[in-house]
Structure 1
Amino acid sequence: MTADVADQVVLFSGHMIDAPGRPIERFPARLAPRVAQAIGDELDAIRVGRTDIGLCGAACGSDLLFAVAALERHMTLRIHLPFDERAFIELSVAIGGERWVELYRHVTQSAACIVADDVLGPLPPGADPFTRNNLLMLSEARRIGARAFTFVCVWDGQPGDGPGGTAHLAGAVRAAHGQVRIIDIRALANEPGA
């Protein structure tokens, strides 16, 4: 990866759209417009623009909403995938429906895509690809020479459904003494009309 310089680097993680049949709602599709607005508001609050770099995944839901908001604000966007694109789309994008696949295609046309296997080699036996991808993004964020490093996340404050989720990356950023800005999806869900 390149040794870049940016005014600020924004690392992002957030919940996926709830898969069909999820027993307890976390990010129902009806909240997507509110989450998109909240992400945009966070980016505006930290005054991102052309001299800034955004790093994120590309799962349906928060990741892709961040990617759109970053591109709308003319940030340089780098999307990190834990494994090959075809498998990633099937596992982490298409479950949200065709709209999310189209959005994935749209944002990846304007962003650099980094596949963890291409940077780090094959996944070691027993390792989790999502955890490894989180740590790769954090490593890149810290390596970029920037005035500020901020982690923005859409999170319910709870442990994830599996390894390598938003909770993991929030903990890793805190351990590295990074600034964490949480968009509380529970608060968005409790707003009138949600």
Structure 2
Amino acid sequence: MTVIAVTGHLHLTDPTVHLVRAALGRLLAGHPAAALTGVSCLAPGADALFADAVLAAGGALVAVIPSPAYRDTLDAGYTAEFDRLRHAAAEVLVLPFDTPDADAYEAANTELLRRADLLVAVWDGLPGNGRGGTAHMVAAARRAGIPVEVVWPEGAGRRPAPPA
């Protein structure tokens, strides 16, 4: 059994979505479906693309949700996708944090890494925004000795994050 966790950017350009989707499909094609488990927090962007790729490859999806209130923080245009992926997951673990904040995201990342044989990082390689982000997760995986596969196809780019 191969357990692959994901971390990655939320705000990908439209062309990047297609590039990353294809790259994830190729990466997961090397794993037998019956032995593939993907672990994701189901965030928009990289997490959702990875979750879809795991399901398309015939693998099992495990969702680690940072807080019971996590869905309430998502953009209204993404909630249907989140609900679809959560419903498709073979296992859903909701962490007991009142709010989805840096502590909750860091705990979710810790859970992903605890389960992972490999971390897939949809990451441009740039420094992150602190705890719970992509760069932080990559650094934690490397410190723990978990292999990291960076997926950032040529021509990929990020959209600016919407104002908070």
Whether TM-score is above 0.5 comes out as: yes
Per the alignment, residue 113 of structure 1 pairs with: 92
| Kept after mapping to 2: 8 A contact 1:58/1:64 | yes
| Structure 1 position 89, deviation (Å) | 2.1
Distance 1:68 1:31 in 2: 15
- Give the CA RMSD over aligned residues: 2.3
| Structure 1 position 172, deviation (Å) | 1.2
Distance 1:186 1:77 in 2: 27
Task: Choose the corresponding residue for 1:41, options 18, 22, 26.
Answer: 26
Distance 1:43 1:174 in 2: 21
Per the alignment, residue 111 of structure 2 pairs with: 136
Distance 1:41 1:164 in 2: 27
| Kept after mapping to 2: 8 A contact 1:131/1:163 | yes
Partner SS state of residue 83, structure 1: coil
| Kept after mapping to 2: 8 A contact 1:150/1:179 | yes
1:165 paired to 2:133: yes
1:6-37, Cα deviation, whole Å (9 max, x unpaired) = x21111111102xxxxxxxxx22442222211
| Kept after mapping to 1: 8 A contact 2:102/2:132 | no
Structure 1 residues 25-40: aligned runs within 5 Å: 27-40=12-25
**What residue identity is the alignment partner of 1:52?**
L
| Kept after mapping to 2: 8 A contact 1:156/1:186 | no
Distance 1:187 1:116 in 2: 36
Structure 1 residues 17-166: aligned runs within 5 Å: 17=11, 27-44=12-29, 46-84=30-68, 87-91=69-73, 93-94=74-75, 98=77, 100-111=78-89, 112-117=91-96, 122=97, 128-141=103-116, 149-166=117-134
| Kept after mapping to 1: 8 A contact 2:105/2:132 | yes
Stretches of structure 1 lacking an aligned partner (at least 5 in a row): 1-6, 18-26, 142-148, 190-194
Partner SS state of residue 34, structure 1: helix
Change (3 A) 1:172 1:156: same
1:15 paired to 2:9: yes
Max radius of gyration: which structure?
1
| Kept after mapping to 2: 8 A contact 1:81/1:114 | yes
Q: Percent identity?
A: 28
| Kept after mapping to 2: 8 A contact 1:155/1:185 | no
1:96-138, Cα deviation, whole Å (9 max, x unpaired) = x52x322212111110211121xxxx57xx9721111101221
TM-score by length of 1: 0.71
Distance 1:80 1:72 in 2: 19
TM-score by length of 2: 0.83
Distance 1:73 1:152 in 2: 15
